[in-house]
Chains A and B, each alone.
Chain A
Amino acid sequence: MAPFDLRLLRQVPQTRRPVAVLGALGALGGLATIASAFALTTLVVSAVRGSDLTWPAVATAGAFALRAVLSWTTERVAAWAGARVSTDLRAELLRTWLSRPAEQRPDPDEALTLSAQGAASVEPYVAKYLPTLVAAAVVPPLAILCLLVLDWPSALVVVLTLPLLPLFAALIGMTTQADTDRRWRALSDLSGHFLDVMAGLPTLVSYGRGERQVATIERVSQRHRRATVRTLRLAFMSSAALELLATISVAIVAVLVGLRLTHGQMDLWVGMIAILLAPEAYWPIRRVGAEFHSAADGAQAVQSILDEISSEPGDPMGQRRAKGGEPGRVVATDLGYTYPAGQRAVLDGVSLRLGSGLTAITGPSGVGKTTLLELLAGLRTPSAGTVDAPACHLVTQRPFFGATTLRDNLTLGNDADDASVWEALRVVQLEGFVASLPQGLYTAVGDDGFGFSAGQRARLVLARAVLSGASVVLLDEPTAHLDDDGAAAVHEALRTLCETRTVIAVTHRSELVTLADHHVHLGADRTGRSATSVSTAAASGEPA
């Protein structure tokens, strides 16, 4: 896995500024660190030589004050940049999914994990790991450069020993790879156990098994402890080995400096700066290794999210909005659809021409009526054939009701003013009901329409369809779960709606079929091909 994926800056340009600012601060911080080593050396040497301390003290204070300011700024900027990049990635990810047809979106559980925990793990990756990465790129070269100018033998020692660090790390990594992999797998099984039984607590309790799990949890957790400590021992051992290597390398520099000092071949100031600068070449690299461990999740998430948003762009709804299509007319030609996981086509060879008025679509369960509506609405991409339609408004069987207030739910996808909202409520005969609510349009609504009856929900989503302004309204079983009174109210509202829009409703209610101007029956012939029969009520003329 690459420590930093450059696609991030290419594909999500909003992240360039935070990453650049963080990088600049890291570089400045590195410069200030080197400067403070110089100032400190001068202070120490002035003190032991008994010369005036004023200027060295001022310089030291200045260098450290600069470091303090940069360090303060870096913490603030890191928090901002981490939040910025992680939220931008999440927003971009969800924007991508919202513009894709159903078959190009990942499985819901996977999607939820990536957008929640995945994007969140990018935060520490940017805020903590990237600054150490910049420090590792800036401080060691600077330290070596300074040494080269001041005392080349010390620089030579550092240049010769520094590559041993990554080499050593790679060697340790390789020899322990198989072992580590096996242990991590066992570890994630063990640590997953508690999460699993915790999520299943209500299930276990309802079958009287809660108490019995307690002993198992302790036993598995203790096994988890032993396995973790074994793995950690290895990790800590290798980090200790790297530290030792760095210490020995610095010691070689110190011995060379000491020898030359005792022989009077070197100035004290140069010797002091050499031993203060040498460690600066090693620690930033060791820290990258240590931090990468905790940032690995974030680096992985960045890649997964970038893979997701960079894969084949497809925005059929956007294209349809842009292209328009003839208002109120829906034409399907030889339409077929196969679910990504399915072998058999759900729809095969469906051709329809639908226009103004109310069309009822009927057919036995499983024949693909819902899929047909989703294809007409552009929520799915046909496997065969074409759909020619304007932007449609589809009322699904489980319409979205996730906004906070009633008004926000009704104006989802449109920007209607209050007068239009009330007008739409009048069409669905809910004006009086909503007016009687203490908070009227601003009544709080829970997920899934909490607090309203099924009949009220069915009419509220019709009001939203009225407000949408779409010339084609598609309805999936608008009255399936309603009693006769509720269904009658919805049918009444549909009668008004279809005066101005093309309304296509999938239904199994005969009242709705009677009400319709056109009737499409969707069936399957013996070969499994979809068979449609279209009939039109006498009064409404051509089926467009």
Chain B
Amino acid sequence: MSTTSSTDRRVLGISPRIIVAGLLAGAAAASGVALTTTSGWLIVRADQRPQILLLLTAIVGVRTFGLGRPVFRYFERVRSHDAALDVLARRRAQTYADLVPLTPARLGRRGRADLLTGVVDDLTDVTEAPVRFTVPVLGALAAGAVATTLTASLVPAVGAVLAAMLLVCAALVALCYRLESRSQARVLAARSEVVRVGHLTARHAGELQAVGGQDAALRWLDDAHDELRGRLLEQSQGRALVSGGVLLTTVGATVASAYLAVGSGVSSPVQALLVLAPVATGEILGVLTDATRALARATAGQDRLDTLLAQEPAVVDHDVDEDAAHALVRSGRTPALQLEQAVARWSEGRPAVGPVDLVLEPGEHVALVGPNGSGKTTLLSVLARHLELTSGSYLVDGRDARELPAHAVRSLFAVVDDEPHVFASTLRNNLLLAAGPPPSDAGSTSPDPDAEPASTGPSDEVLLTSLRRAGLADWLQALPDGLDTRIGTGGHGISGGERARLAVARALLSQRPVLLLDEPGAHLDHPTAQAVIHDLLTAASGRTVVIVTHHGVGAEQVDRVVDLTREKVA
């Protein structure tokens, strides 16, 4: 409203279907205005005690408007929701496709799950804007224009009053939009701080009790809550202004119309109609408050999506040797990996890690330790070819990684991070996604709720073996439907330890020659973490394994420990 940037135009989502829905909304709103005004006319005309027959046209009119309003509104709502959900479906697919090349390096190191959930919410907000803003506002405009034209044809001055009323309300909406948008970012920041403190407190309730930190945590929560309340109150300024302002404007227009109608010399039933017209129009403008809020939310969401998706992928291929890469991948042999004077950083402005020298012989099991922030995860991302070096070199099987296509190098690594995701699907589908046939293969094993079980791919025996080797034999025994048990959201419960082991089973099943584990025990207690890592190392003999661990779990079980503090990385 205040600006006409491309963001706003995309958020408004103007399309033929939305315009039709807007016109239907206008027809519904105009019926409402007509219902009130013609009723006024009818009552005054009836008071003049004419023959009933003379009133029939008006009575039919009132009936039509009364029936028309719910019918038009019904069609408007069905059409606009259908259109918006269609846009949502397409934008979800498009956004997902745009996110794939940015994953994982450009999604940030921390709070990745929150960021991705945020994308889901932002997309919903953005695609709802046409339903919540464009359609009602188009409707109000159309009905307002009809009311203005019709009253102007009776008494031009009253038409002018209605036009002025609409203009004042438009100005109020623009002001409200500014106020809402301005406080939007601050409200969101306050909300995420509340969520952060709330999570911290709920997740660490036991640890807080252990050190007597309950009161301190509740104080932090109080501070965050104070801030949020202040911001929410501030945000309500705009909508309070619109809801009060529309009523004041309405009464101004009503009083003006009353004087003008009386002075115009029209018949008294028409006078009643003219006095009631601003009130009836004011009622349809009541939708503007919520509409403006929806627009402010959608614009903010669109801005966030744009910022996220405008990033460059972390690794871009230039002049790569596809044949060499294919030969390496197909050979199935475990490559030697070598970093020389390697320096990398997550993004511009973040501290760089390195220079690091690291040689990983095929089949070697190595633990990376060092204080948090010393660059262990960064190093892992470099190895997995998720992050480009800023200087130095990375040799895969003796060749510079930059000469090989990134997707091929990545297919050598199975990465287990500290937040492995369990899809809401069967255990089988949760495993098969790692067992992938080569990308050219058509068989879909995606975790689509209704996906057919893949006809090709590993046998059940292979899947069961990978589960057993990941230490899930007992858990598997307890599952009601074995591999066909549904797990993840809404399915059979799965503990943190089992989740970590499932991720290990995926990695084993993938047959990828190098396993990279980022704090696989981060959310597990000490004995469980030890056990998971022990099972993994036993199962992964012959493959290269790199474990990042900052709690030191598993460091005694590997061939070699690389301490990044002593490597002078920081």
Bitwise, B213-242 to A at CB < 8 A (1) or not (0) is 111111011100100110011011101110
Interface flag for A519 (CB, 8 Å) = no
Given contacts A40-B279, A210-B103, contact A400 B415 (CB under 8 A): no
- Cα(A209)–Cα(B415), bound, Å: 14
Contact-size category for B: 35 or more
Q: What sequence of 0s and 1s flags, for each residue 233-261 of chain B, a beta carbon within 8 Å of any chain A beta carbon?
A: 10111011101110110111011001101
Is B492 among interface residues, defined by CB-CB distance under 8 A? Answer: no
Q: Tell me which residues across on chain B come within 8 A of A449, comparing CB atoms.
A: 372
B526 near A98 with CB under 8 A, answer no
What is the minimal beta-carbon distance from A273 to any residue of chain B, in angstroms? 10
Given A202-B112, A243-B70, is A232 in contact with B552 using a C-beta cutoff of 8 Å? no
Instruction: List the interface of chain A (C-beta within 8 A of B).
Output: 40, 43-44, 47-50, 53, 56-57, 60-61, 63-65, 67-69, 71-76, 78-80, 82-84, 87, 90-91, 94-95, 97-100, 102, 105, 108, 111-112, 115-116, 119-120, 123, 189-190, 192-222, 224-225, 228-229, 232-233, 236-237, 240-241, 243-244, 247-248, 250-251, 254, 257-258, 261-264, 268, 271-272, 275, 317, 365-366, 370, 374, 377-379, 391, 393-400, 402-403, 408, 412-414, 446-454, 456, 464-465, 468, 470, 477, 480-482
| CB–CB A71/B191 < 8 A | no
Given contacts A40-B254, A48-B272, contact A203 B206 (CB under 8 A): no
Query: Is A98 within 8 A of B97, CB to CB?
Result: no
Task: Report the minimum CB–CB distance from A232 to chain B (whole Å).
Answer: 5
Do B371 and A452 touch across chains, with their CB atoms under 8 A apart? yes
- Complex CA gap A111/B205 in Å reads 11
Q: Are B489 and A212 in contact (CB under 8 A)?
A: no
**Measured between alpha carbons, how far is A250 from B490 in the docked complex, in Å?**
47
Chain A residues with CB below 8 A from B146, complex form: none
17 A-B pairs with CB atoms under 8 Å apart are A49-B268, A71-B244, A79-B235, A189-B490, A193-B448, A194-B120, A202-B104, A207-B434, A209-B433, A210-B103, A215-B93, A217-B89, A217-B93, A236-B74, A251-B62, A399-B211, A452-B372
B415, A206: Cβ atoms closer than 8 Å: yes
Which residues of chain A are near B85, meaning CB under 8 Å? 221, 224-225, 228-229
Identify A477's interface contact among B200, B258, B526, CB under 8 A.
B526
Closest 7 CB pairs of A and B: A481-B552, A413-B212, A221-B89, A64-B251, A72-B244, A79-B236, A225-B85
Is B537 interfacial (CB-CB < 8 Å)?
Answer: no
Q: How far is the CA of A471 from the CA of B96 in the complex (A)?
A: 56
With a cutoff of 8 Å between Cβ atoms, the chain B residues found around residue A115 in the complex are: 198-199, 201-202
Is the Cβ of A198 less than 8 Å from the Cβ of B117? yes
Residues on B close to A: CB < 8 A?
Answer: 35, 39-40, 42-44, 46-47, 49-50, 52, 55, 59, 62-63, 66-67, 69-71, 73-74, 77-78, 81-82, 85-86, 88-90, 92-93, 96-97, 99-100, 103-104, 107, 112-113, 116-117, 119-120, 191, 194-195, 198-218, 220-222, 225, 228-229, 232-233, 235-237, 239-241, 243-245, 247-248, 250-252, 254-255, 258-259, 261-262, 268-269, 271-272, 275-276, 279, 289, 369-373, 384, 407, 410-411, 413-415, 417, 420-421, 423-424, 433-434, 436, 439, 444, 446-449, 451, 488-490, 506, 510, 525-527, 530, 550-553, 555, 565
- Given A102-B206, A201-B116, answer yes or no on A196-B44 (Cβ-Cβ < 8 Å): no
Q: How far is the CA of A206 from the CA of B199 in the complex (A)?
A: 28
Report whether B210 and A400 are in contact in the complex, using a CB–CB cutoff of 8 Å: yes
A267 to chain B, nearest CB (A): 9
Inter-chain contact A196/B424, CB cutoff 8 Å: yes
What residues on A are CB-neighbors of B113 within 8 Å? 199
Output the nearest chain B residue to A452 by Cβ-Cβ distance: B371
Known pairs A90-B198, A192-B489, A271-B43; A76 contacts B236 (CB<8 A): yes
In the complex, what distance in Å separates the CA atom of A112 from the CA atom of B434? 29
Contacting pair B198 A225 (CB below 8 A): no
Whether B210 lies near A195 (C-beta < 8 A) is no
Q: Are B77 and A87 in contact (CB under 8 A)?
A: no
CA distance A456 to B211 in the complex (A): 18
Q: What residues of chain B lie closer than 8 Å to A450, measured between beta carbons?
A: 372-373
Beta-carbon nearest neighbor of B407 in chain A? A208
Q: When the two chains form their complex, are residues A240 and B272 in contact, meaning their CB atoms are under 8 A apart?
A: no
Query: Which of B78, B96, B530 touches A229 (beta carbons < 8 Å)?
Result: B78
B446 to chain A, nearest CB (A): 5
Could you tell me the distance in whole angstroms from the C-beta of A114 to the nearest C-beta in chain B?
Answer: 8
Pick the residue among A123, A211, A229, A248 that contacts B97 (CB under 8 A). A211
Contacts of B82 in A (CB 8 A): 225, 229
Question: With a CB–CB cut-off of 8 A, which chain A residues contact B71?
Answer: 240
Contact (Cβ within 8 A) A403 B415: no
Contact assessment for A402 and B46 in the assembled complex, using a CB-CB cutoff below 8 Å: no
B103 touching A201 by the CB < 8 A rule?
Answer: yes
**Do B248 and A116 touch across chains, with their CB atoms under 8 A apart?**
no
A206 vs B105: C-alpha distance when bound (angstroms): 11
Chain A residues closer than 8 Å to B202, beta-carbon distance:
94, 97, 108, 111-112, 115
A47 touches B93 (CB 8 A): no
